[in-house]
A and B are shown apart, each in its own frame.
Chain A
């Protein structure tokens, strides 16, 4: 069962647009998928290296802005001396540039804050997010400030015989997000299962020991930060080209909190954790919205966060996995084992 579970889920996810005809739910699923990619990237740092990025939305926002600006074009004067004019490029170029730029920022932040341990990385990332928001708000010439960047073009795909087709259709966009999410999942799974991943876990468990056996801790931390930031940037780019409008509110701290809640609820340090947590918190707002104002909705998030820390500190996926372990003799008859096997299948090989 556990060997076929990933295939089972893949088939479910692949066929969604075929049986889900409600466009609104498809929209929620696309946004959820984008945030799951971001949550997976956060999980790489938080779950596997033990470093919490409290400004993860900065990388997401940088990806969104870089990608939008690449595809919309801009005309700015730097320091009143150099005039930089950029003609619009295809959206795919934006995705690549947004991902790369976010990764580069992750490198700088990691290089800077991993000189010391403790709360520094948390505070540096938090402040970094605030500064990127201020830049997006104040550098009006480049980012349009609060007026927002409008008309961000959609992704286009070259099809033989049809030329370039724009992905306006929600079902197509769903497949694009799914494709990137699977790529991100495989990348993280490969990374975590490799020598690098083992080094990351080693330094999370006992850093002095890891150093003593010759693991270059800082290098792996920085590598984790780069990959994590780049994936968050890719998610941001997908977001920008989907909603077609980007303003400084994209840097709102609550988005980072949403990613964190997704990761710790699902189970940090497990591959399936962000997916399970992401699906719950992607659809929870839809359910809560019908009877609660946004403030109450956020308060519910806050209460949920505290309860999870107190009751299920490991998150849902590890708890379910343990529960399954204790019923090993029984044949699995619900979706629990399948979810859990997503988490454990990498560990087993």
Chain B
């Protein structure tokens, strides 16, 4: 039982960052109809930003984290502006090929700059774990979970409480009508891609110190984000949030009780199960964002 609870706690920490990844990707897909393969690289960039600023340039860890999130937003906006804006209206396949190209370029840039060896990131948190009964959890992981929850809450507030969020929801429902009503669709697309990328970078910046920053970490992140998005239904933020935690729980239990070698295969098994049972995602309602 204690072991089970320990797995659950680990899954909760992982799940928060998975949810961030999933929300970012589902926003971009839902609003812009772009299958975005740079998502995992933004995740990796987040981790490397923290490594660069906290470890190499000696910034405070928390400031480095904030820089990573803002840097992810800016990088996302740049990708949207340079590569995707000229292709607006192109079919899904075309934009996807462009994001695959960008992904290859980004990943190999990381390899070139940082080399293939994974980098460790140290944090100001004490190493000694907090022990509650039979469960132990490091302060860093508590921080990761709290920040992830704050960011998830912030994204919800942004979408439901702000004018930009209202514009995003309107664009999601019917971009043409929204544009006719005078919405600046281009601006909304850039903002969406930027926010989605920022969330991915935040997830990477949070998980980087927990594990390691490696150039190939983005591949699996992309794959998992896709699994989460399919699990929750394409374009469904609540679905992506629940999907993120669900994937983490399944992975953690699968690795703990079945085989750790197949940990990363769990996402695929989920995709299969969802497609067999309920292809529109587990939490699909009428097509609606929020």
Seen from chain A, the residues whose Cβ lies within 8 Å of a Cβ on chain B are 50, 52, 112-113, 115-116, 118-120, 122-124, 126-128, 130-131, 134-135, 137-138, 253-254, 257, 260, 264, 293, 295-296, 298-299, 301-306, 309-310, 313
**B31 close to A (CB within 8 Å):** no
B92–A127 CB distance below 8 A? no
**B187 close to A (CB within 8 Å):** no
A260–B100 CB distance below 8 A? yes
**B86 close to A (CB within 8 Å):** yes
B residues less than 8 Å from A119 (CB atoms) = 29, 35, 92, 234
Nearest CB of B to A320, in Å: 21
Nearest CB of B to A71, in Å: 26
In the assembled complex, the Cα of A138 lies from the Cα of B105 at a distance in Å of 30
**B154 close to A (CB within 8 Å):** no
B265–A115 CB distance below 8 A? no
Nearest CB to that of B113 among chain A residues?
A295
**B5 close to A (CB within 8 Å):** no
In the assembled complex, the Cα of A135 lies from the Cα of B220 at a distance in Å of 16
Bitwise interface map of B from 259 to 278 toward A, beta carbon under 8 Å scored 1, else 0? 10110110110011001100
A295–B111 CB distance below 8 A? yes
Residue A115 contacts which of B87, B93, B111, B279 (CB distance < 8 angstroms)?
Answer: B279
In terms of DSSP, what is the predominant structure of the interface of chain A?
Answer: helix
Which among B12-20, B46-54, B222-230 touches the partner chain?
B222-230
A residues less than 8 Å from B87 (CB atoms) = 309-310
In the assembled complex, the Cα of A93 lies from the Cα of B103 at a distance in Å of 39
Nearest CB to that of B280 among chain A residues?
A116
B101–A302 CB distance below 8 A? yes
B264–A134 CB distance below 8 A? yes
A299–B109 CB distance below 8 A? yes
A131–B265 CB distance below 8 A? yes
Residue A295 contacts which of B93, B97, B101, B108 (CB distance < 8 angstroms)?
Answer: B108
B104–A302 CB distance below 8 A? yes
In the assembled complex, the Cα of A254 lies from the Cα of B219 at a distance in Å of 11
Nearest CB of B to A270, in Å: 16
A-B pairs with lowest CB-CB distance, top 5: A302-B104, A305-B101, A138-B261, A127-B268, A302-B105
